[in-house]
Amino acid sequence: MIFFAEISPALAYLDPGTGSIILQAIIGAIAGALVAVRIYWDRIKSFLKRKKDGDYRDDRSVDRK
Amino acid sequence: MERAVAENASYRDPAGRVYLLGDRILRSVTSVGAADYEFLRDCGLLDELTSDGRLIGCTEVEPSLLGEAPAVSYVLEHPRLPFISYPYEWCFSALKEAALLHLDLLLESLKRGVTLSDASAYNVQFQGVRPIFIDVLSFRRYRDGEYWLAHRQFLEQFLNPLLLTALRGVPFNTWLRGGLEGIPSDDLRALLPWWRMFDWRVSAHVILPTRLNRSVAKIDNDRIERIKARSLPKSAFRSMLASLRRWVEGLEPSYSRQGVWSDYAETNGYCALEAESKSEFLRRFVAKVEPRCLWDIGCNTGHYAEVALEAGAKEVIGFDSDHGALEKAFARASKGGLRLLPLYLDAADPSPGQGWCGIERKALRDRVNAGGILALAFIHHLAIGRNLPLKEIVDWLIDLAPQGVIEFVEKDDPCVQQMLQFRKDIFPDYTRENFCAAVLARAGVVEEQEITANRRLLVWYDRRND
């Protein structure tokens, strides 16, 4: 999505400053990365947990679940 | 019939502008701003924020009140604030409260899918020491993932001035008066010691954006487009705001030297009895004059402003040039819930008209609303301290309000002697006789009283019949 293109004249009257926008793009990217890391971390955790609880089942049964 | 006149301070926003119709304050909402205004009204946020006093009240009125103004979607009426002050007149605590209000409004608005389109400190006013947001048209619908376009403005208008005072001990007032846009991050960065780069918040908000600004010239267009196409998730925006809020809340002024007058109340040589007779004089004055708004010129820590409020003054605007004293007065008003707004003023150089065409921000003399003034132990600071002619000082004070109390401090008073310590006495005209003559040339004297062994004189003038 291109947000700047959506900005109506009412919003565009303020010059946001390029540095400030790049900073926020970085923050946004870090936030996105953290979310991704968290999702993967949760997956790894649940994978390990299931493996630990998995008593007689083999790994494939975990994958199929 | 009276005609609505457009207010000079509100021309920038295409969503609408402010008009004066006699004593009434009206705001037009154009087709550009109508949908956002309707959203703000219909989602309940407008009512919520106006009812708890953080946003100025507004009522929809007949658009025809604006006369032959261009077609507008709505016309709103706001209650009139008794006095408009500007950020360069605020003390540190006032600017801090205004910044916190801005961030709180933004954080709460986001919950309802609303954001603020700008971050101008001029959108905040004070009732006593309570900040109130006055620009209803700054609110607009939030688009998921959008960048905070007002980040830079928030820094220039709020954070950078606060940091200048908190980190470097430099009062921001003259800097903000020098540039209405605020303090650019580039300027602040140049003033900070190098090791501040290890403070991650300074680095992230002040240093990094200025560095990025410089390098942006080297970035190709494709890259710019990719940045534009990215987004700032709402959760990240909220954490950014919450972190800024915690930072601002923890900032305190670190003045390099203590104010001279902030401990004046304790060291000024009055004995309790004399202070009491001065207070008694003020009580009589306030009870008789019943000023809606009283200006206390040279308010120090606000002690006599408090006396005047207790005696029945509805509101006091205090002025002083000592930042430490202003902080104490602000704290006094916050603690006691007093309707006292302490403001920075160098009386020898009052706020001029400035901004676009010199009229966007009004001069102090064009904002005078005082029903009475107090000028206690004040005029010798201008007459002896700043070499201003006694008669002109008295004229200036009497012009401010129809009635008032002016204190004259004799030249042999220890306070004046201290000012003359290393100076030649070039003030032969600074005498009680000349002072009284200057008052009588402009006004009648209702009452006068000597209040100390040093023959300090209180004069209550009334210029209405002169």
The whole-number pLDDT of residue B310 equals 96
The whole-number pLDDT of residue B376 equals 95
B179-203 mean pLDDT:
95
Among B212, B214, B225, pick the best mutation site for testing chain A contact (most A Cβ within 10 A): B212
B397 or A59, higher pLDDT:
B397
The whole-number pLDDT of residue B265 equals 54
Minimal CA–CA distance to B9: which of B148, B121, B117?
B121
Band of the pLDDT at B285, cuts 50, 70, 90?
very high
CB B209 within 8 A of CB A22: yes
B316-331 mean pLDDT:
96
Taking CB atoms and an 8 Å limit, are B212 and A1 in contact across chains?
Answer: no
In this predicted structure, which of A59-63, B367-371, B459-463 has the lowest mean pLDDT? A59-63
The whole-number pLDDT of residue B230 equals 83
The whole-number pLDDT of residue B140 equals 95
Choose the closest CB to A22 out of B149, B155, B227: B227
Kindly report the average pLDDT of chain B as a whole number. Answer: 92
Taking CB atoms and an 8 Å limit, are A6 and B143 in contact across chains?
Answer: yes
Whether residue B187 is predicted with pLDDT greater than 70 in this model: the reply is yes
Band of the pLDDT at A7, cuts 50, 70, 90?
very low
Taking CB atoms and an 8 Å limit, are A31 and B216 in contact across chains?
Answer: no
The whole-number pLDDT of residue B95 equals 98
Distance from CA of B233 to the nearest CA of A (A): 6
B291-317 mean pLDDT:
96
Taking one residue from A and the other from B, the number of pairs with CB-CB distance under 8 angstroms is: 105
Interval B88-112: pLDDT, tens: 999 999 999 999 999 999 999 999 9
The whole-number pLDDT of residue B423 equals 87
Search chain B and give the residue with CA nearest A2: B229
Minimal CA–CA distance to B356: which of B141, B111, B180?
B180
Minimal CA–CA distance to B138: which of B11, B13, B8?
B13
Query: Which token pair is B52?
Result: 């708890």
Cβ-based burial of B423 (10 A; exposed 0-12, middle 13-18, buried ≥19): exposed
E strands, B138-243, where? 139-141
In chain A, pLDDT over 90 holds for what percent of residues? 0
The whole-number pLDDT of residue B145 equals 92
Distance from CA of A60 to the nearest CA of B (A): 36
The whole-number pLDDT of residue A3 equals 37
Determine the angle formed by the axes of helices B92-111 and B160-168, rounding to 10 degrees: 140
Cα B377 from Cα B458, distance rounded (Å): 9
The whole-number pLDDT of residue A55 equals 52
Taking CB atoms and an 8 Å limit, are A23 and B209 in contact across chains?
Answer: yes
pTM of the shown model: 0.90
Distance from CA of A54 to the nearest CA of B (A): 36
Distance from CA of B228 to the nearest CA of A (A): 6
